[in-house]
Amino acid sequence: MENSLADEIIETDIAIIGGGSAGITLASKLSEHSAVVIEPKTPAERDACWALWATSDQQAKLQSATKGRWSQWRLVDYEQEIIHNSHEYNYISLSSADYLSACEETLSANVKLVRATAESIKPKGHGGSFSAQGQNYQANYIYDSRPPKTAKEGLKQHFFGLEIRTKSPLTTPDIATLMDFRVDQSRGLHFIYALPYSDREILIESTMISKSLEPENWYRQAIDQWLDQHGIEIETIVRQESGIIAMHSSLPIDSNLARIGAASGAVRQSSGYAFTNIQSQISQLVAGIEKGEFEVPKPLSSLLNYMDKIFNGVLVAQPHLAVTLMMQTAKSLNSDGFARFMLGQATLFDWIRVILAMPKIPFLKQVFKR
């Protein structure tokens, strides 16, 4: 009698559970080891906007997935508008679908991509066994790239957005609006995020930082009000997107597996930015693997995570200060310093400028609580 597919075991050096930003980036950089990536969704099914500040070298590497780039960005409230104009960094928006597709297309012959969900995962040492599409696998090393769970009562960045084509040209298509706080602040830190891809195309997101989610029509109402205030009329809705980013310590799906990307804590807790941290972590991991070292590097320093927890603690304890804190941060730094700070790459002098600009008592209260 012939053995069934389920009786056969495929052995591999490395298994990557989840083919998102971290998982597929790691897979695309493996050349000397056999590997399998288990990911149920296609890139098109996961298309979203990923954004970061990038140097010219980084921009060149990400050119094929870039939807827009801006050397100027702004933060606005009812009292002031802060515009940064950088020579070192551009703020860029990536199509996740294009990035993921590009990585998948560059997989080496010894890396197999399986469109399925990993099941019956049994960790053993650094690796373990699992099944996908009825096929059994055994790996010497397993890296878990699945998104972490979000704590019900934890602080979250949540958003709903529309990518639209407008009826008439935009007035400032060369400036990215990172935070426009001239919206309802009664339920948490709320802002409009707007990225003009051309003079007739723009992504607008209603973004909240709070513990509780809102119904979709609440975000949509804020977007419609912002469009009305700026005299922008929708010709066509190209697509819509929504998401939730945990702004607290990651909660792994399986704590017995080595985790990479967001699952390992690569998301900056005070800003929600992650792409650059993930790229750095994966580059370090690949360099280690090439030397026979398979341990996952920490994506962010313990000190940075501690500082972010203090900042988020102030947001939760005194939400009425939230807009002031964000505007003061932007005001205290020049454009390059602000980019470094948001990326988690701030210099000592960047930190000093930010600390001096912050109200001292609320932060000291959070320090003594920890």
Contact between 66 and 58 under an 8 Å Cβ cutoff? The reply is no
Pairing of strands 156-166, 234-246: antiparallel
Mean pLDDT of 7-36: 95
Domain 5-46+96-149+251-290 belongs to what topology? FAD/NAD(P)-binding domain (3.50.50)
pLDDT digits (tens, 9 = 90+) for 283-299: 999 999 999 999 999 99
Closest Cα partner for 136 from 145, 128, 144? 128
Determine the pLDDT at residue 2. 46
Report which secondary-structure segment, H or E, holds 360.
helix 360-369
Q: Among 110-114, 146-150, 215-219, 300-304, name the one with the lowest average pLDDT.
A: 146-150
DSSP state, 147? P
pLDDT band at 1 (very low <50, low <70, confident <90, very high): very low
Helices (H) and strands (E) in the chain, counts: 10, 17
Distance between CA atoms of residues 122 and 109, nearest Å:
26
Identify the architecture of domain 156-246 in CATH: 2-Layer Sandwich (3.30)
Instruction: Tokens for 6, please give them.
Output: 């389920």
Mean pLDDT of 257-275: 93
Determine the pLDDT at residue 5. 53
The mean pLDDT of the chain is: 94
Instruction: Tokens for 363, please give them.
Output: 């932060």
pLDDT band at 124 (very low <50, low <70, confident <90, very high): very high
| Per-residue pLDDT at 75 exceeds 80 | yes
pLDDT band at 258 (very low <50, low <70, confident <90, very high): very high
Within 122-267, where are the H helices? 216-229
Instruction: Tokens for 332, please give them.
Output: 């205290």
Distance between CA atoms of residues 40 and 315, nearest Å:
37
Distance between CA atoms of residues 241 and 19, nearest Å:
19
Distance between CA atoms of residues 311 and 362, nearest Å:
9
Backbone angles phi, psi at 172, to 5 degrees: -135, 70
Q: Where in the chain is the domain with CATH 3.50.50.60?
A: 5-46+96-149+251-290
Distance between CA atoms of residues 37 and 27, nearest Å:
7
Q: Where in the chain is the domain with CATH 3.30.70.1990?
A: 156-246
